[in-house]
Structure 1
Amino acid sequence: MGTKGELSRLRELRQWIRRQSMRTKIILGVVAALISLVCLRVFVRDRNHFFVASEAIHTTGIFVLIYKLTTKKSCSGLSLKSQELTAIFLTARLICSVTIEADIHTILDSMTLISTLWVIYTMRFKLKSTYIKELDTMPLYYVILPCAIISAIIHPGSLYPLVSRIMWSFCTCLEAVSVLPQLRYMQNAKVHILAHYKLLFTIFVIFKDINEFFLVSLIENGLVSNMVEPFTAHYVFALGIARFLACAHWIFQIYDTRGLYLFLVGKGHFWILLMILGEIVQTFILADFCYYYLKRLVAISITLFS
C-alpha cells in the first residue's frame, strides 16, 4: 500500500509540474539547486572533495560509454566530436597538472583521458559503420578557435611559464563547451526522427481518418522522449552532475571568502571570473538535458512499479 501511495503522490507531483509555465519550472529548478547546495554545504566540509567527485563522476560516465560500445557494438547516438574535444582539453589539463601540481586530480584525469582515447579509437575504426556522421554537424573550429583566443587574452598570472598558463586557461574554456557537439547531435537526431514519424502518421491520417492533432501530440510527448540512446543519456547526465559539483565548489569558495574572489576580479584578475563563468556556463548548458532526463526517469519508475 505504501509503495502505491508513494507512486500516486509522485504521479500527482509530476502532473502538477507539467501543468506549470516555463517560468515556474525555472524557478522550481533554481530552488531545487539551492536546496542541493545547502545539503552539500552541510554534509561536505572539504571543498576539494567537490572537484574530486566531479572528476570521478566524469570518469564513471566514460566507463558507461565503454560498456555501451563493448556490449552493444554500436556508437549510435554518440558524438565523436565531443569525445575529441574532451581528449583535447584533458591532454592540455594533464600536461599542466603534471608540471604544476601532480596529485589525485592527475590520476583521475589520466584515467579519463585513456578511456576517452579508447572511445575515440573504437568509434573511428572498430564501430565506424554505426557512427552517424550526418548528425554530428558542429565544426570543431567553432569551439576550439574562440577558446584559443580567450585563453591567449585571459590566463592566470603566476611564476609558471606563459605557455602553461595559456594552456590551463584553454582547457578550462574548452571543457565548458565540449559537450555542445553532443547536444547538437541529439537535437539533430530528434528533428530527423520526428520528421520521419510525422510523415508516416500523416499518411496514416489520410487513409484512416485519425485525428492528426492527437497523433502529433503522441509523437512529441511519447516518442521523442525515447529518441536519445539510453547509455548516451546516462553519460550526458553524469557530465551534468559533474559540472554541478564543480560549480558548487566555486560558489562555496566565493561564499567562504565573503566575495574576495569577485573583488580580485575588480583588481584585474579576470582569470578568476573566466573560471567561474566557465563552470556556470557548462552547468546551464547541461541543466535542460538533466531536467528531461530526470523527468523521463520518474515516468519510467511510475510505469514499472504501478
Structure 2
Amino acid sequence: MILLHSRRSSPGGYPSTTNEVTLLETVFFIVALSVLENAIRIPCHSSWPMLEMAGLDDGSMEDQFSFRNLCMKTEMLFHMNIFRLTADLAHLVAIFILALKMWTTRSVAGISGRSQLLFSAVFTSRYLDLFTNFISVYNSAMKIFFLLTSFGTLYLMWIKFRATYDRNHDTFRIEFLVLPCALLALLINHEFTVMEVMWTFSIYLEAVAIMPQLFMLSRTGSAETITAHYLFALGSYRALYILNWVYRYYTEGFFDPIAVISGVVQTVLYADFFYLYVSRVLRQKRGLQLSA
C-alpha cells in the first residue's frame, strides 16, 4: 500500500428555441463579469514572491488589472482562487444545462444513465464527511447541491422519463471502471482510513465516469447541441481545476498527486470531444456529428 501525504482542501430537455440556451449563457457571463468587476475594484497591497519567481506576475503594484491582483481579489471575496471559482461555475453550468435539457424536452435521450450513476457514486463516496467535517458554508452548500442534483438526475432518468432512455446504446460495462478504481484506492491513498479511501476512490472514479457517455456518443454518432454544451462545460470544470492545482503549487507549494494525475487523465479523455465541439458545434453552429 502506498500512502501519499498531500492533503485536499476543496469539494470539488433540449430547448424548443435557441433563445433558452442563449439566456442561460447570458446569465452565466453576466455573473462572471460581475464577479471580475467587483474583484478588480478591491484594493490589494500584498506581494506574491512565489508568483514573481515563477514569472506569473511582474510585481507591479500599480497595475490593478495584473494577474496577481485579480487572483488575490478573488480570494478576498470568495476565499478561493479564481481558477477554482470558475471551475465550480463551469460545473454548475453543466448541471443546469443537463437539467434544462431533460426538463424542457421531457426526455433523457442522448444522456448516459451509466455515467450519471457513476457520478452519483462519486459524490456519495466523496462527501461522506458532510456532517463531520465543516470547512465553510460554501463548501457544505456545494456538497449538498451536488448530492441532490446527482440523485435527482437518476430519478429523472430511471423513473420519470425512463421511457425515453436509450438503453440500446448505453451499454458500457461500468464494472470495468468501478472495480479497478476501488482496488487502486485501496493501494494508493493519502491515509488508510475509510474516509480517505472513499475520497480517493471518488477521485479515481470521477476521472473515468464520463467514459460511458463518450462511448454512447461514439455508438450513436451524434449529439444534440444542448448535450454537447453540457459535455463541454463538464470537461471544462476539471480542466480548470488543473489550473487551480498549478496555481496552488506556485503560491502555496501545494501538490496532490492523486488529484492532479486523475484530473489530467479525465481531461485527456475529453480532448477529442473538445476538438469536435469547437470545430463543429461552435464554428458551424450545429449539433455534433461524428465522422463514420
What interval of TM-score do these two structures reach, taking the shorter chain for normalisation? 0.5 to 0.7
SS in 1 for 2:109: coil
Matched, 1:230 2:225: yes
Match of 1:140 among 158, 162, 174: 174
In structure 1, the gaps of 5 or more residues are: 1-36, 191-226, 262-271, 302-306
Structure 1 residues 79 and 248, CA gap change in structure 2 (3 angstroms): same
Matched, 1:89 2:122: yes
Q: Which amino acid aligns with 2:283?
A: V
Aligned equivalents of 2:95, 2:161: Cα separation in 1? 17
Equivalent in the alignment of 1:198? none
Match of 1:44 among 59, 64, 71: 71
2:71/2:81 contact within 8 Å kept: no
Aligned equivalents of 1:106, 1:154: Cα separation in 2? 27
Aligned equivalents of 2:170, 2:119: Cα separation in 1? 15
Q: Which amino acid aligns with 1:106?
A: S
SS in 1 for 2:89: helix
String of CA shifts for 1:7-55, please: whole Å, max 9, x gaps: xxxxxxxxxxxxxxxxxxxxxxxxxxxxxx9999554334544334323
String of CA shifts for 1:148-192, please: whole Å, max 9, x gaps: 1111111113xxx810111111111111111111111101111xx
- Displacement of 1:97 in angstroms is 4.5
Matched, 1:165 2:165: no
- Displacement of 1:248 in angstroms is 0.6
Match of 1:68 among 101, 109, 113: 101
**Higher mean C-alpha displacement, 96-105 vs 148-157:** 96-105
Q: What TM-score does the superposition give when structure 2 sets the normalisation length? A: 0.67
1:52/1:105 contact within 8 Å kept: no
Equivalent in the alignment of 2:218? 187
**Higher mean C-alpha displacement, 179-188 vs 47-56:** 47-56
Q: Percent identity?
A: 30
Q: Which amino acid aligns with 1:186?
A: L
Equivalent in the alignment of 1:11? none
1:59/1:108 contact within 8 Å kept: no
Larger helix proportion of the pair: 1
Structure 1 residues 40 and 130, CA gap change in structure 2 (3 angstroms): farther
- Displacement of 1:60 in angstroms is 2.0
Structure 1 residues 79 and 170, CA gap change in structure 2 (3 angstroms): same
Equivalent in the alignment of 1:56? 89
String of CA shifts for 1:169-227, please: whole Å, max 9, x gaps: 1111111111111111101111xxxxxxxxxxxxxxxxxxxxxxxxxxxxxxxxxxxx2
Aligned equivalents of 1:293, 1:109: Cα separation in 2? 29
Equivalent in the alignment of 1:294? 278
**5 Å matches for 1:1-306?**
43-45=70-72, 46=75, 48-103=81-136, 104-157=138-191, 162-190=193-221, 227-256=222-251, 261=255, 272-296=256-280, 297-300=282-285
Q: Which amino acid aligns with 2:199?
A: W
- Displacement of 1:108 in angstroms is 1.3
Equivalent in the alignment of 1:224? none
SS in 2 for 1:75: coil
Aligned equivalents of 2:88, 2:177: Cα separation in 1? 22
SS in 2 for 1:242: helix
1:63/1:115 contact within 8 Å kept: no
Aligned equivalents of 2:224, 2:185: Cα separation in 1? 34
1:172/1:278 contact within 8 Å kept: yes
Q: What TM-score does the superposition give when structure 1 sets the normalisation length? A: 0.64
Aligned equivalents of 2:144, 2:203: Cα separation in 1? 16
Aligned equivalents of 2:277, 2:66: Cα separation in 1? 22
Structure 1 residues 109 and 53, CA gap change in structure 2 (3 angstroms): farther
Query: Considering only CA atoms, is the larger Rg found in Structure 1 or Structure 2?
Result: 1
Structure 1 residues 51 and 40, CA gap change in structure 2 (3 angstroms): farther
